[in-house]
Every structure is written in C-alpha cells, then in structure tokens.
Amino acid sequence: MTTFVALYLAQDGLANGAIYALLALAIVLVFSVTRVIFIPLGEFVAFGALTYLGLQEGTGGVTGGFVGLLAMACLAVEAFAGLRRGRPVPALRAGLRQAALPLGLALGSVVLPTAGFPLAVNAVLAVALVAALGPLLYRLVYQPLAEASVLTLLIVSVALHLVLVGVALALFGPGGVRSAPLLDLRVTLLDVPVTGQTVMTLAVTVLLIGALSLASRNTLYGKAMRAAAINPIGARLMGISAPLAGRLCFLIAGIVGALSGVIAASSTTMLYDTGFLLGLKGFVGAILGGLASYPLAALGAVLVGLLESYASFFASAYKEVIVFGLVVPILLVRTLRQGRLLEDDHDAAPAFVLDDSPEAMRRQAWAQRALVVAFVAGIAVAPVVLSDYSLAILDYVGLAAIVALGLVLLTGIAGLTSFAQAAYVGLGAYTTGYLSSAYGLSPWLTLPAVLAASGLLALAAGLLTARLSGHYLPLATLALGLVAHALFGTLEVTGGQSGMANVPGLTLFGHPLQGPRPFYAVIWLVVLGGLLALRNLLDSRPGRAIRALRSGLVMAESVGVDTRAMKIASFVVACLLAGLAGWLYAHFQRFLNPSPFSITQGINYLFMAVIGGAGSLVGAVAGAAIVVMGNQWLQSVLPRIFGAQGDFEVIVFGLAAILMLQRLPHGIWPALAALLRLRPPGARPAAPGTPALAARDKPASGETVLAVRGIHKAFGALLANRDISLDVQAGEILALIGPNGAGKSTLFDIVSGITPPTSGTVEFRGRSGLSLRALALGGMGRTFQHVRILPDMSVLDNVALGAHARGRGGLVRAALRLDRGEEARIVAEAQRQLDRVGLGHLAMRSAGSLSLGQQRLLEIARALASDPCLLLLDEPAAGLRHLEKQALADLLVQLRSEGMGILLVEHDMDFLMGIADRVLVIQFGVKLAEGDPSSIQRDPAVIEAYLGAAA
Amino acid sequence: MIARILVAAALTVTAFGASAQVKVGVISSSTGPVSVVGIQQKNTVEILPRKIGSLDVAYVFLDDASDPTQSVKNVQRLLIEDKVDAIIGPSGTPGAMAVLPFIAEAKTPLLAPVGSTAVVLPMDAQRRWVFKTTQNDDLVMNALFGELKRSGTKTVAFIGTSDPLGENFEKAARIAAEKTGIKIVASERYARTDTSVTGQALRILSANPDAVLIGTAGAATILPEVTLVDQGYRGRLVQTHGAATPEFLKLGGKKVEGTLLAASPMLVLDELGDDVPAKRVALSYIGLYKAKYGTEPGTFGANVFDAGLLLERAVPIAAAKATPGTPEFRAALRDAIESTRDLVGAQGVYNMTPEDHSGFDARSVVPIVVKNGKWTLLK
C-alpha cells in the first residue's frame, strides 16, 4: 500500500465516518433523553435523500403526503386524549401547535414548483420536511410508552423501522437516487484529490457536534433536555415536560438524519433501504463511545468509518467480519479499564396480585392444569384437523418458539439482551448441513456435534462477554451476529451466498420424516420438552439465581450467587436451544443460505419474545405464533384488500406491533395470564416434616467475627471514610449511627465487599480482602437501605433465594426435576425464616405487593435463610409500624442470644437504645464516639453533631 | 388458542378456488436486493393471459423478498396449499436452486426466469421439471468476454455485490474468462447498500486491469462504475444485463458513457430489423406493459411474459389429456412444455428438448454500449 492509497482511504474513511458520527450523535441524544435506541434513524437518512431528489424532480409531494397524514393523526390523537380528559379545547390547541408546521411544510412540498428551485433551497426544504417526522413519530409512537422498559422501547423501534422501510419502498420505489453535488469543487491535498463533498461533510459534522455540545450546555432547551435525561421528575417540577424534551430531541435527530441523507445523496447512490446499514454503523460508533458522550461517540463512529475503508481495500469480502469483529475486543478493553461493574439497569417486572387463600390457590392450580391439558391437546389434535400447509406454518412457529424460549430465559428473565441467537441457529444448521451432506453422516449422529458446537461457542462467547456490562453486552452480541452472518455468506464450506442445497431429511428407523406432517411431531415434542425443562428450571435453586440477575447483581452476589456463572449458563442454555432449532431447521428445510441467520432475523427473535411477553415461557410460543402466522396471514389477506400493488405486509405488521406494545408493554401472555389468574412458576409451600438444611459451624459467643481496621475511602477529593476501625463479636449487636452523609452507607458497602476501600482492611472470620460473594459464602448476610427484592416473584421464592449457597443442585438436575429433595429443604427453610420474621402468612404473595416495612422484613428473612453468623442490617426499622418494630427488636435480641453478630445502621434511636450493646457514631467520615447506648446518649459531641445537623 | 384461530382464518381466506381452472403460482422478489428484477416481473403477472383456450387461469402471487429461504416457503405454500399446476419464478438463481427438490417431489413444472444454467444442467430427475426462460448467464458472459477478447483485453477485474446475485455473476465470469484466456486479476465485494466503494476501487486500480466487470443489478450497479471513473480509471467498464434498467442511464449520466454490456435485444429494438422474430412479440409486450403502468418494462419482466407464452401453448395440449388440478395434468403440462418448438418470445426463440430446458440460443443476447445516454447495439 502506497502513501497515496493510505491517504485516499483515510479521506474516504473520514468522510463516511463523519456521516456515522452525525448519526451516532443523534442516537446518543435520543437515548440519553428518552432511553429509546433509535433504529429508525437510518430511515430518516433514506427519507432525506429520496425526498431531496423528489423535490428536485417535482415529486416531493409523496413525502409531503406522508408528513401530512402523520400530522393529522397527531391532531386526532391529541383531540381524542383531550376528549377523554374532558378538556378538548386545550388539547386541540396543543395538537394544532404540533401539527400546523408539518402541515404547512407538507402543503408547500405539494404546491411549490420545487423542480426549478436551486439545490440548496431544496436541500433545506427536504431536511425541514423529513425532520418534521421526528416529533410527530415521537408523539404517536413513543410518548405513550414513556414508562416502558428499554427492551420494549427497542422492539418498538424495530417495528417502526419496519414500517418506515415499507413506507419508503411504497413512496419512492426500489430504484436508487443520486444528486448533483451541492458543492462542485475538487482540490488536491497531499496528492490526494479531495472533493467538495468530503470537505462539506466534515465541516457539517464538526459544526453540528460543536453546536449540539454548546446548545446542550448553554441554552434553556439544551438544559431542559439534559435535565429530563438525568432527572425526569425534577425536570417536570421545573416546568419541563418529558414529552417536550422527547419531541425536541426527535426533532434534532430528524434534522441530523435528513441532513445526512441529503449530504450522502450528493456523493453516492441512495436506495430506500440504504439507511439501516448507515444507522447501524452510527449505532456501533455510539456504543463504542459509551452511549453517553458526544465527542466519544463521534470518535467511535469515525473509527468505524476508517476501519471500514481500510478493510474494504485489503479484504472487501471480509469487510463486515473485520469491522464488526474488531468491535468485541474494543468493548472488552473498555470494560476491563472500567473494572467490574456490579450494578446494572433495574428492569422491574410487574408484581402480581393473586388471591392466596388455600381454596383460591387450589382453583388457580386447577385452572393451570386445565390450560396445560388444553394446550397439549390442541397441539396433539392439530395434525388431525389441519391441512399440510397449516402444519408447515405451525412447524415454522415451533422452530421459532424454540429459539424464543431460549431468549425468554436469557433476555426476559436473566436480563441479557442478545441479538446473536439467529447466528447460533445458523451455526447449528450449517454444522449439521455440512456434516450430513459432505460426509453423509446421519442427522442423528450430527446432533451431538451441533449441540457441542453451539454449546462451546456459547461458552466461549459467554466467557468473553459476561465481563461486559450495560450496553456493551447487547452490542457484543450484535457484532457477533453480524460477523457470523457475513461468514456464512463468504465461507466456502457454507456454500457462500448461494447456500447449501440438498441437505438430507430426517429418517427414523428407516422411515423418512419428510414434509410438514411428520416433522410437526418432532418439532413440537422439542417445544414441549423445552417448555417443561425451562419451567422446571425456573422453579429451582439455579432458576431463582438466574431470575435474580435482572434486578442488579449486588443482591444476587450478596446471597452467594455466582452471577457470572449464571449469566454464562443462561447464555449457553439459550444457544443450545438455538442450535437445536438450527439442526431441526436444516433437515426440515433441506436448504441453507445466510438470510435466515441474519441480524434482522436475530432481532426478529427478540421481537417474538417481547411481543409474547419476554418474562414468560408461554410468551415465547405466543410471540412466535403471532409473528410467524401474522406475517403469513397478512401476506395472503392484504393483496385482497389493497390489490397486488405495493407491499403492505411489513407496514401493517409493524403498526400492529407498535399498537399492541402501547397497550401491553409487557407482552401478550402476561396480560392474559393476569386475566386468567395464573400463577407464574415458583416454589409451592413445603410439606410439613421436611428435614432441615445442614447448618454451618458457628463461631462461639464472644469470638470476634468482624474486624475492620483503619478504613480510608476517597471518592476523588472527597474523603468518605477516614481511619475507621470497629469490631463485631458473635452474640453482639453493634449499632452504627451518624447524621445523613456521615459515610455510614459507604462503610457498609466496604464491609460487605461491594466497594473496595482506598486503604485499610476488613477481616471476616480471620480472612481479609474477600469479595461480596465470598463474604456471603462465609456467612455474612445483609439487607439493603433501598430494598432489593424481586417484585414479580413470590415472597417464598425471594427468601428461598437467600438459601442459595446452602444447596448444590445445578441446571441439569433442576431441568430434570432431580433436585426435589434439596429443593423441599430449601423451601422449608425459607418458610421457617418467614415465620420467624412474621411474614409466614404472606409466603405466596408477590414480593412487590408487600408494604415497604414488610419488604424490609423479607430482606431479613432472606439474609437469615443463608444461615449467617454475621448480619448487616441497613435501616431495618424504617417504614415499620410500632408493633412491627417491637417484633423486630425481639427477633434481633433472640438472634443475638443464639450467637449471631449483628451490625446495624439505624436512625431510630428508641429502637436502637433498647437492643444495641455498643454504639459507634461517625460524622464526616470520622469516628466521633463509641460506647454503650446510654453513655453515647449523654456524649456532648454526639448531641452537638445531631443538633448541629438538625439546625 | 390464538394460534388456532389465526390458522383457521388464514385457511378460510386462502382455501377458495374453483377447480375448473388452471392455477399458476408466481414467485418474484418484489422487495429486497433483487426487487429491480422482481417488481417488473410482479407487474407482468397482471398482463399474463387470464384465459387459455376454454380454461380460466388464476395466478397466485407471492413475494420472496429476495430471500431463497422465503422462496422455499412460498413454493411449499403454492404446492401444498394452493395446489398449483405450474410455478413461474423465483426471480433469483439461489431461490430456484433451493426449490428444486420440492418441485421434483411435487412433480410440478417450474418456469424459472433466472440466469444460471445450473437450474437445468446437468439434466436429472429433479431438473426434468424445470424450464428456464432467461438468457443463460453464460450466454451473457460469453458475449461479454468474446467482445473483450476481440478488442484485445487481457486482464479483467471483477467487483460484485455480496449477495447471491454478485456471487453468481462471479462464478459465470470465471468460467467465461477461462474459456477466452482472459485473466481475472482482482475480485472485490461490496454490499448493495454500501455508500462507498473507494477502497475496492483503489484496489482494482492498483491491479491495473484492462477492463472492470461489475456484477450486480439495479441501482447498485452505478456506484462502483462512477467511483472508478472519478478515480480516473481509463480502462473499459463492463456491466451485465443486471444494469439493463432505465435507472442505470438516468443515475449514471455522462459517467457511464461507453459502458459495455450484453443483454436482450429488447433493449435496442429500434435498431433491429423486422426480420428478427422476437421484435414483434417484444413490441407487443412493451405496449401492454406501458398501457397498464405508464413506464416501459426492462428485460426481466419479459422473462415472465415468455413463461406465460410457454404456458399458453402448452396448457391446451395438456388439458386434452387430463383435468387441471391433477397430477396427470401437471405431468402432461411438463411434457407439453418440453415439446415446445420455435416459439417466438419477447427475447428470442424457444426450442426445448428433453436434454435442453434452457430454450434460448446465442441470438437472445446482443452486445450493447451506452452511447449518448442511450443503449446502442454494438456493431
């Protein structure tokens, strides 16, 4: 490579990277304000380019019509909402404010003789017209979903992307467009010809980045949006509504997208679906920048552009593999530099409210059984009553359901979003396809190979990616999916783009299992088996641990769950299911090519899981059925309605998905289950007389269990703890008090291994430097100031999770129900601890339905279930009523008499004084006083600290 | 539950269809990468004969979104659900290859408007059921490489899209290159929706080939060509019949002037003498299409039109032997198509034999250059 080529490529990479950078900016902006991952941004690019060309040819009215339609819809929605609130006039006015300008622009695009306008005028018009779509789409699509989870919002974005691609094809057709350059200029820089286009792209990008950064810091609207992003409630108090901030950032995103389109159309061919790939690269850049900082996102995007440019010179066939393959190591480096993050986004599932009287529970069980019987019977009867073709569709439903089941476990339950499942289906399919057609192996022999391949690759990917946190993990799976798909299309063993034909079918004892009918039995047996195994898994020791992952890792680690192993395990299970589906698919379809294993299909599987109800297993089947059959049905029905012209399936399907998720953001099945009063899977009360779990050897009363020496903790210049030492002995209650901000919580987090101290040691039962989990395994139990429970699980399950470290049963034993003996002992222990804290009668309620005080007691029961010898309680009495406090005090005294060491933070002095043996007071991070309760109460320094703090 | 209701609904909507008619399934790629090809084909379905002899003909159209897997699903549906007597489609070679086993199992004739001869050669039990209604890719490539050789070209670089289309063109180009002794000195890939091929173009420039062949279809054909021209490439630029769309001339403008391609004589009808038999049929097809859609069709739509002509001739023969909707009818239809002799289509003259189901001869492809922004016959 000569310097000339290197420079030329750099120029090209920069010019493309600049476009990606613009898009990355818009993605970061939209995400930080609204939590929406704005996939349809790519369509704004396409709309911008195609509208710009349309205006030049005098056909810009097609975009105008679409904008006008959305503006009218917006007006109607506002008016309807106003009518329902009984205040139609202000609502109508608000609607008009939103719709007037878009309507004007739309009208302008129709009546103005734009074909004769200068390019620059049409460019501005196109950007204005397309950008107007931004706020309208926010109002219609996202505003009703302001409370939904990031995952639901992502899926809505996918649906909107589908709709807009369909609309783009209908409006603009499949042909491409190119415009004359806005700036016709060619200069030579270091011997490399530089076009005016490149100069303009770079200039616009730098200007926009600067303007955005400045605006977000210095203007009222910018501050408003940042405020809305950081603290929506606070922003609302200041008169900045979330909808306003949302519309505003969608407007900016619309401008950025449309502008990118106009710029791109002047240098390249733009098609109706060009935008998606551009947006994807912007998205990758944005995440490389951490989805938070504008300059970093822009830098990440430029990096993508450069990588792409050089890769297309050196190995154009492997360009995607190189560009996206490099993303994973970059992410890893970033994560490693961050250190291991324990905190993740909380994504609370709704608590259920079900009658828990014995008769009602019996009724629920019967209803459940009846439904299971009906479901299985329906599946069994289908081949008798349905045609071959309907069975073929059900086969596809089943295949998709197997993949979606894995995703429910991985994404819905463990909270790890994966875009790569289609790649694992492909891995399974190509493995068996190759082995059975190239070597003539029987498919039954290739099955173990398929499972080994997908299992091992999942393990490898899991080991690499389980370290990744937050948004990095989904991006890593996205990269994995893109790389795998690109490889399927380039490698020789997979047959490249043309694929692999004549894969043999299945045979059973010499009988061919070919065609939809015989295969139906195979596929649906696997579906039912998968459902049963996963249901068993969820109602077990490892299942509870996996369910605990979603609510943040601290709580799970604090009861001894190896969260990393559990993440990897759920990844492996999901990928095994995907591989199995791939094996089935290969021998059912008997033809393989890369398209069914693309990233689009990977997103589609997520789509199914979310639509059905990402947290529920039956939801996977429901979602697969809706997506597969819905598409098939639309394809046969819509041509009858709209005629053969146009392709409306994706539009109608996407719209239906958006409307459905607006009504049911948690998916279909959870809503149905609530209607039918079905209980989610979980532990049932243990039979009386169940033997107890083994208990650990306890330290003798008076033995020092916890020795904290010389703890310093600095956050930057702020010293949160300075030279703090304390001891807790077995059979002793030490209370830690101090005004707000004294450093109690920091100390607590250091003692329990969540935060490492800057200096000093924490020694627990003679060992120091232990992690949160190691401490938990050694017998330290803790509760949290802000309760960390699993609101959608029963109280009993929540407490049983506490006994995690006391059992050994693994995933396989759980799935096969070989763990029932141990499980019964765990559940019995949980019930015993619940009875002890006075919540025994609420065992079958959902934890989220308890009062705050009860939830604190639940946390204590959970800590007790781990059979601790030291208990760390963070404000256990807050929110408790007088009698409950009394009972709690009695319990703590009782525990002390059994030899438990207790360290507690509490504000309620009356409560403390009655039970604490010693009190430690800290203020401004320094030990102020230590002694027995009565001497502390008389200590002048303490009195001053409290009164001073109060005054 | 919902599943069952939906299936039931789907059944009631699709299951009706009288039996006293011929049913023809059509699969084309009206969305996705091959849509430049597929949309014309889909539009052409509307002007296929609705009545052949005394029999009504019903067409069931399905889009495969340029995805071979969807082609397979569509074929399964047409065979199992609609019980069609014949299928026209799919638009792309990989799709056609993928559906072969299913067609053969159902013993239903397939009229494939695709380029690759692999769908009809080597003739075997599966390919018995397949007839091709497009110029063979190798005809196109032979014409191109023949012309290149004639003009003294020694080296060619290939750049194609990373999809089935591009891959097939490369395969065919390599074979033709070997035959003519021309060396392929670089082979590059890009995605249909890529916005820059600068890296690939630089690579090609550094290999310094006498000509560059661009292997894809529709609007994606333009970016590599324009990029090469902008970078100062002075050699010959060559396109396949995939570029034979009005967009190519419109979007390419002056920069595609002088491009060599090989395609159907339909592109240069004005220059053909009335002695060329296909001219009359092509004109009538163009007239019909224009009357309905207001625009002129490209050559891809004609492939489906010709499939209709083949059926128009064969259906009455088969109907004399068996009733439509029966296996006997489908077998008779296959035999009748195989016996086609001297049928004049819009792009050439069909002659089928049991060994050769590809129909066209070399007369169906002519070398063309872009001159003054128009397709011109290369003489």
Q: Which residue has the tokens 């002047």?
A: A266
Q: Are residues A595 and B67, on separate chains, in Cβ contact within 8 Å?
A: yes
CA dihedral over A470, A475, A480, A485, signed as positive or negative? positive
DSSP count for chain A of H helices, then E strands = 38, 16
**Among B6, B76, B199, beta carbon nearest to A309:** B199
Q: Are residues A176 and B72, on separate chains, in Cβ contact within 8 Å?
A: no
Question: Which residues of chain A fall short of a pLDDT of 50?
Answer: 340-346, 950-951
The amino acid occupying position B180 is: T
Residue among A26, A40, A92 at smallest CA distance from A658? A40
Question: Strand, helix or coil at A378?
Answer: helix
User: Helix, strand, coil shares of chain A as percentages rounded to 5?
Assistant: 65, 10, 25
Residue among B107, B17, B44 at smallest CA distance from B288? B44
The count of other CB atoms within 10 Å of the CB of residue B154 is 13
Backbone angles phi, psi at B294, to 5 degrees: 80, -10
Same domain, A307 and A372: no
Does residue A938 contact residue A918 with C-beta atoms inside 8 Å?
no
Q: Which residues of A touch B130 (CB under 8 A)?
A: none
Residue A319 within a domain: no
Q: Are residues A593 and B13, on separate chains, in Cβ contact within 8 Å?
A: no
Residue among B333, B324, B347 at smallest CA distance from B83? B324
| H or E element at residue A922 | strand A918-923
Runs of H (alpha helix) within chain B: 2-14, 35-45, 68-76, 93-106, 137-150, 164-180, 198-207, 222-230, 246-252, 278-293, 299-319, 327-338
**Among A389, A392, A629, beta carbon nearest to B3:** A629
Q: Which residues of A touch B222 (CB under 8 A)?
A: 176, 178, 269
Q: Are residues A269 and B223, on separate chains, in Cβ contact within 8 Å?
A: yes
Q: Are residues B3 and A397, on separate chains, in Cβ contact within 8 Å?
A: yes
What's the rounded Cα separation, in Å, for the pair A348 and B104?
53
Same domain, A224 and A175: yes
Say what the pLDDT of residue B17 is. 39
Residue A680 within a domain: no
Q: Which residues of B touch A320 (CB under 8 A)?
A: 162, 191
Region B221-242 average pLDDT = 90
Q: Which residue has the tokens 């990118």?
A: A260
* Number of independent structural domains in chain A: 3
Instruction: Give B157's strand partners.
Output: B186, B212
Say what the pLDDT of residue A349 is. 61
**Among B11, B101, B196, beta carbon nearest to A268:** B196
Residue A598 within a domain: yes
Same domain, A366 and A222: no
Say what the pLDDT of residue B16 is. 41
The amino acid occupying position A738 is: G
Does residue A504 contact residue A590 with C-beta atoms inside 8 Å?
yes
Residue A698 within a domain: no
Does residue A615 contact residue A349 with C-beta atoms inside 8 Å?
yes
Instruction: Give A506's strand partners.
Output: A513
Domain that holds residue A489: 358-380+387-675
Same domain, A164 and A76: yes
Question: Strand, helix or coil at B354?
Answer: coil
DSSP letters for A512-580: EE-SHHHHHHHHHHHHHHHHHHHHHHHTSHHHHHHHHHTT-HHHHHHTT--HHHHHHHHHHHHHHHHHH
**Among A387, A499, A647, beta carbon nearest to B11:** A387
The amino acid occupying position A677 is: R
- Residue A441 in tokens: 């192996």
Same domain, A625 and A716: no
Same domain, A650 and A777: no
Q: State CA B342 to chain mean position distance.
A: 21
Q: Are residues B80 and A389, on separate chains, in Cβ contact within 8 Å?
A: yes
Say what the pLDDT of residue A340 is. 47
Residue A677's alpha-carbon distances to A477, A671, A754, in angstroms, are 36, 10, 39
With a cut of 0.85, is the ipTM above it? Answer: no
b/e per residue A836-860 (b: at least 16 CB within 10 A):
bbbbbebbbbbbbbbeebbbbbbbb
Same domain, A715 and A669: no
Q: Among B47, B127, B194, B195, which would you mutate to test the A interface (most chain A Cβ atoms within 10 Å of its Cβ)? A: B195
Say what the pLDDT of residue A234 is. 61
Same domain, A877 and A930: yes
Give the strand order in the sheet containing B86-88.
B51-52, B55-63, B21-28, B86-88, B110-112, B130-132
Q: Among A198, A266, A591, A611, which would you mutate to test the B interface (most chain B Cβ atoms within 10 Å of its Cβ)? A: A591
Region B270-295 average pLDDT = 87
Residue A324 within a domain: no
The count of other CB atoms within 10 Å of the CB of residue A809 is 18
The amino acid occupying position A100 is: A
Q: Among B117, B162, B188, B230, which would you mutate to test the A interface (most chain A Cβ atoms within 10 Å of its Cβ)? A: B162
Say what the pLDDT of residue A643 is. 56
- Non-local (6+) Cβ contacts of B331 within 8 A are B107, B322
What's the rounded Cα separation, in Å, for the pair A933 and A918?
6
What's the rounded Cα separation, in Å, for the pair A678 and A98?
43
CATH number at residue A417: 1.10.3470
DSSP count for chain B of H helices, then E strands = 12, 15
Nearest CA to CA, how far is A498 from chain B (Å)?
Answer: 5
Which domains are seen in chain B, by residue range? 21-135+281-363 (3.40.50.2300), 137-263 (3.40.50.2300)
**Among B14, B45, B97, beta carbon nearest to A501:** B97
Q: Would strands A918-923 and A511-513 be described as parallel, antiparallel, or unpaired?
A: unpaired
Same domain, A30 and A171: yes
Same domain, A631 and A775: no
The count of other CB atoms within 10 Å of the CB of residue A237 is 10
The count of other CB atoms within 10 Å of the CB of residue A782 is 29
Residue A642 burial class via C-beta count within 10 angstroms: exposed 0-12, middle 13-18, buried 19 and up: middle
What's the rounded Cα separation, in Å, for the pair B176 and B147?
12
**Among B9, B69, B167, beta carbon nearest to A589:** B69
pLDDT tens, residue by residue, A798-832 = 999 999 999 888 899 999 999 889 999 999 999 99
b/e per residue A690-717 (b: at least 16 CB within 10 A):
beebeeeebbeeeebbbbbbebbbeeee
CATH number at residue A886: 3.40.50.300
Residue among A194, A156, A202 at smallest CA distance from A20? A202
Residue A697 within a domain: no
Residue B10 pLDDT level (bands cut at 50, 70, 90): very low
* Residues shown for chain A: 951
Same domain, A82 and A164: yes
Residue among B234, B193, B371 at smallest CA distance from A600? B193
DSSP A794: B
Both ends of chain B: CA-CA distance in Å?
A: 67
Q: Which residues of B touch A23 (CB under 8 A)?
A: none
Residue A553 within a domain: yes
Residue A688 within a domain: no
Say what the pLDDT of residue A500 is. 85
Say what the pLDDT of residue B120 is. 85
Same domain, A108 and A180: yes
Q: Which residue has the tokens 């750049």?
A: B159
| H or E element at residue A194 | strand A192-195
Q: Which residues of B touch A317 (CB under 8 A)?
A: 162, 188-189
* Residues shown for chain B: 379
Does residue A332 contact residue A467 with C-beta atoms inside 8 Å?
yes
Say what the pLDDT of residue B18 is. 39
